């Protein structure tokens, strides 16, 4: 059997318009509408989508990569994201977690070391 790769990610959102606006402002993503309850994510390097949450929302932790962690954190804050875990070191780099306005928690990581 050949290796299986992540091909698509779907996020539930409690506020579709807020999620769409946040991801566009923070990361420059574009979207394709597939009706009132689903939009496809474009320009995120990995295909994915956002669907309207139905009942209890149990999202995966999606981890984004950037070369400039501080700039990504500033963009998240400026776009209305809430930092849920401040930057911390882990094997391989640094990362932080945030919640976007639709309620999804994500993380951003980088190989960069902390600012001196």
pLDDT of residue 48: 67
Position 101 scores a pLDDT of 95
Supply the pLDDT for residue 47: 67
Whole-number pLDDT of residue 44:
82
Q: In the numeric block, which tokens belong to residue 72?
A: 């990504």
Average pLDDT score over the chain: 85
User: Cβ(13)–Cβ(19) under 8 Å?
Assistant: yes
Report the alpha-carbon distance of residue 40 to residue 69 in Å, rounded.
25
As given in the structure block, the two tokens for residue 112 are 């960069």
Tokens 């932080």 belong to which residue?
A: 96
Element (H, E) at 22: helix 16-27
Hey, where are the domains in the chain?
9-110
Encoded tokens for 105: 């928690």
pLDDT confidence of 31, banded at 50, 70, 90?
A: very high
| Alpha carbon separation from 114 to 27, 103, 107 (Å, rounded) | 21, 28, 16
- The first and second tokens of residue 6, run together, are 């992540």
- Asked if CATH classification 3.40.50.300 holds for the domain at 9-110, the reply, yes or no, is no
In this prediction, residue 27 carries a pLDDT of 92
Q: Residue 86 — pLDDT band, cuts 50, 70, 90?
A: very high
Distance CA 73, CA 79 (A): 10
Q: What is the pLDDT of residue 23?
A: 94
Rounded-to-integer distance, Cα 34 and Cα 61, Å: 24
């Amino acid at each position: 059997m050949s290796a299986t790769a992540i091909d698509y990610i779907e996020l539930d959102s409690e506020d579709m318009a807020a999620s769409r606006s946040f991801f566009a402002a923070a990361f420059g993503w574009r979207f394709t509408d597939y009706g009132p309850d689903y939009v496809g994510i474009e320009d995120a390097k990995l295909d994915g989508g956002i669907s309207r949450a139905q009942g209890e929302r149990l999202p995966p932790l999606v981890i984004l990569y950037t070369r400039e962690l501080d700039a990504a954190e500033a963009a998240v804050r400026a776009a209305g994201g809430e930092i849920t875990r401040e930057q911390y070191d882990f094997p391989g780099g640094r990362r932080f977690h945030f919640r976007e306005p639709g309620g999804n928690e994500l993380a951003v990581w980088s190989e960069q070391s902390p600012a001196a």
